[in-house]
Amino acid sequence: MQSFIWIFHGNEAQFCSGVYEELKQAETFIKKYFLSGILTKMPLNKSVYEWTIEKGFFEPKRDYQHSGKFIQNFTSAYLEHYHYQNGERME
């Protein structure tokens, strides 16, 4: 069974600023400091690239899609995620 964690990445940040096991924990952090950014449920011990391929959400069809440059920047809207503005979830 696949495990997941929640990662918060603030607007304009180069790196994430929080990693949580539970959504509620992450949202408490975001709300406490009135943060803006995105919270994403990420597969644990698996890249997003590999996860989307395994789930059938993505199939690399071009040579460059197998390159490290492509894979290191790869993300997917198929990951559960939420946007926040000043600590509030945007619906």
Predicted confidence at residue 1, as pLDDT, reads 84
Is 8:41 a contact under the CB 8 Å cutoff? Answer: no
Residue 16: the pLDDT is 96
Q: How much of the chain is in helix, strand and coil states, percent to nearest 5?
A: 30, 25, 45
pLDDT at 33 (0 to 100):
98
From the first residue on, what is the mean pLDDT of each consecutive set of 10 residues in the chain (91 residues)? 96 96 98 98 97 97 98 96 98 84
